[in-house]
Amino acid sequence: MVEEVYNRVKALYKKKKFPVVLGGEHTVSIGAFKAASELYGDLTILQFDAHTDMRNEYNGSKIDHHCVMARASEMAPVVQVGIRSMSAGEREDIQPDRVFYAMQIYDQSTWMYELLNKLSRNVYITIDLDVLNPSIMASTGTPEPGGMNWFDIINILKKISEQVNIVGFDITELVPNKENKAPDYLVAKLIYTMLTYKFITGIK
């Protein structure tokens, strides 16, 4: 699956297209990271997530949603936003000055400028929907208390688009619930809002 995503995204880049990867499971991002990192030498992978996903392996596998950002860090520098859960072992692998914890950014704005200073010219964005507050995003497999709200995430995404070249993005971990359609619409709106920022207000 990782190789298939890699090949598809690489083919899109060859056609000078902008890749958007949608996955139920965060592991789909690994192939996209690989394609982007090969094309863009000056790349930062920016993660919005409740979890660090920095385990080197999980249940004997290095290809797992717990390991996504460990694989990303092998390809490009990583910046992590919205983190509020990790295993004890992951603390040894993160870069503290490149992690913006949910508690630190709650109801603040100065962190956004610090974040922008850590990004390179080209940025690939990966969004695990559990970065959002469960009050607006309950439809995910591993919800965590707290998290970003709608205006929190779109405000920082707009600022990012105005400062760097976004080269692609993915959105993962939606688990649709037929009894609650609101999270599904939120994801659809997030996708077209990000595309608007990229192609209307963003740096080309």
| Tens of pLDDT, residue by residue, the chain (204 residues) | 999 999 999 999 999 999 999 988 999 999 999 999 999 989 999 999 999 998 888 888 888 888 899 999 999 999 999 999 988 777 777 788 999 999 999 988 899 999 999 999 999 999 999 999 999 999 999 999 999 999 999 999 999 999 999 999 999 999 999 999 999 999 999 999 999 999 997 766
pLDDT on residue 143: 93
User: Is residue 93 one of the residues assigned to a domain?
Assistant: yes
User: Is residue 16 one of the residues assigned to a domain?
Assistant: no
User: Is residue 51 one of the residues assigned to a domain?
Assistant: yes
User: Is residue 5 one of the residues assigned to a domain?
Assistant: no
User: Is residue 141 one of the residues assigned to a domain?
Assistant: yes
pLDDT on residue 123: 98
Q: Is 132 left (phi over 0), alpha (psi -120 to 50) or beta?
A: beta
Burial letters 86-112, b for 16+ CB under 10 A, else e: beeebeeebeeebbbbbeebeeeeeeb
User: Is residue 150 one of the residues assigned to a domain?
Assistant: yes
pLDDT on residue 60: 81
- CATH code of the domain covering residue 109: 3.40.800.10
User: Is residue 70 one of the residues assigned to a domain?
Assistant: yes
Longest dimension (CA), the chain: 44
pLDDT on residue 94: 79
Helix H or strand E segment including 123: strand 122-128
Q: What is the CA radius of gyration of the chain?
A: 16
Domain count, the chain: 1
pLDDT on residue 89: 76
Distance CA 131, CA 81 (A): 8
User: Is residue 9 one of the residues assigned to a domain?
Assistant: no
pLDDT on residue 203: 67
The range of the structural domain enclosing residue 171 comes to 21-201
